[in-house]
Amino acid sequence: ETGVTQSPTHLIKTRGQQVTLRCSSQSGHNTVSWYQQALGQGPQFIFQYYREEENGRGNFPPRFSGLQFPNYSSELNVNALELDDSALYLCASGLAGAAVNHEQYFGPGTRLTVT
Amino acid sequence: QKEVEQDPGPLSVPEGAIVSLNCTYSNSAFQYFMWYRQYSRKGPELLMYTYSSGNKEDGRFTAQVDKSSKYISLFIRDSQPSDSATYLCAIQRGSSYKLIFGSGTRLLVRP
């Protein structure tokens, strides 16, 4: 177990709705990244947060947004859901500092189905 | 051209076999190389993490990086049915935490 938890485990939404996914980072970690994994594909980087600020974004539209809280928990918000947003959403936590640590540890994911 | 290419498999081997999993990447700027294992309906689990060319060993697992060929490999010795999973390679630039994943190779180890 990595110590990274995500909620909910799975959910079903209707096209056009909004969704919020949650992640609790491993204790002591200060970065959180979100990834989208479509069926049969590798995870795709959405964005990363470090010290509560977005620190890099992948090729995802602005309707994908996030937050990182002082306790290093995080949220991923997706507005105006589309059918193609159906995927496994993963968060990964890591520790950044002067000696950069590139090890990232993933949670179990939230499976989102958009109908 | 994708930044990371990985054969999707599936790769089926008998128990005890040596497994070789491979990825190629396109940009020599990538400096960090990881292998993740993902069981069905689970999140990826970090197996190996390497920085330089050469080999890194951890138990039955050996990660190999050849930067001149832009080729990375994971070898599994004495494979077990519990090794059956999807194996994802991931690469990373030095200044970014963004992981770029291959599409994953599905491995089945037959008892």
**Other Cβ atoms within 10 Å of A34 Cβ, number:** 24
Q: Could you read off the pLDDT of B2-25 as tens digits, one per residue?
A: 899 998 889 999 999 999 999 999
Three-class SS state of B23: strand
**Other Cβ atoms within 10 Å of A108 Cβ, number:** 19
Chain centre to alpha carbon of residue A112: 12
Q: What is the dihedral of CA B31, B52, B42, A75, to 10 degrees?
A: -40
For chain B, the C-alpha Rg in angstroms (whole number) is 13
Does B21 or A29 have the greater pLDDT score? Answer: B21
Q: Could you read off the pLDDT of B25-59 as tens digits, one per residue?
A: 998 888 889 999 999 989 999 998 888 788 899 99
Cβ–Cβ below 8 Å for A106 and B96: no
Best B97, B100, B103, B105 residue to mutate vs chain A (most A CBs within 10 Å): B97
Three-class SS state of B21: strand
User: Which residue's structure tokens are 């689970």?
Assistant: B42
**Other Cβ atoms within 10 Å of A35 Cβ, number:** 27
**Other Cβ atoms within 10 Å of B90 Cβ, number:** 26
Asked if B75 contacts B83 with a C-beta cutoff of 8 angstroms, the reply is: no
| Nearest C-alpha in B relative to A1 | B45
Three-class SS state of B14: strand
Report the residue from A43, A58, A102 with minimal CB separation from B44.
A43
Cβ–Cβ below 8 Å for A45 and B100: yes
Q: Could you read off the pLDDT of B94-111 as tens digits, one per residue?
A: 767 789 999 999 999 999
For chain A, the C-alpha Rg in angstroms (whole number) is 13
Cβ–Cβ below 8 Å for A45 and B46: no
CB neighbour list of residue A25: distance below 8 Å, 6 or more residues apart: A4, A32, A72, A73, A74, A91, A93
Of A27-31, B22-26, B66-70, give the lowest mean pLDDT range. A27-31
Tell whether A96 is within 8 A of chain B (Cβ): yes
Burial class (CB in 10 A: 0-12, 13-18, 19+), A73: middle
- The confidence band for A98, taking pLDDT boundaries of 50, 70 and 90, is very low
C-alpha count within 13 angstroms, C-beta hemisphere, residue A71: 5
Cα gap A112→A95, rounded to integer Å: 27
Q: Report chain A's mean pLDDT, rounded to a whole number.
A: 91
Tell whether B25 is within 8 A of chain A (Cβ): no
Tell whether B45 is within 8 A of chain A (Cβ): yes
Q: Count chain A–chain B contacts defined by CB atoms under 8 A.
A: 67
**Helix residue ranges, H only, A26-106:** none
Cβ–Cβ below 8 Å for A44 and B101: yes
Cβ–Cβ below 8 Å for A107 and B6: no
Please tell me the predicted confidence (pLDDT) of residue A97.
Answer: 65
Asked if A103 contacts A3 with a C-beta cutoff of 8 angstroms, the reply is: no
Report the residue from A43, A48, A107 with minimal CB separation from B101.
A43
Cβ–Cβ below 8 Å for A102 and B36: no
**Helix residue ranges, H only, A3-85:** none
Does A29 or A100 have the greater pLDDT score? Answer: A29
Cβ–Cβ below 8 Å for B49 and A102: yes
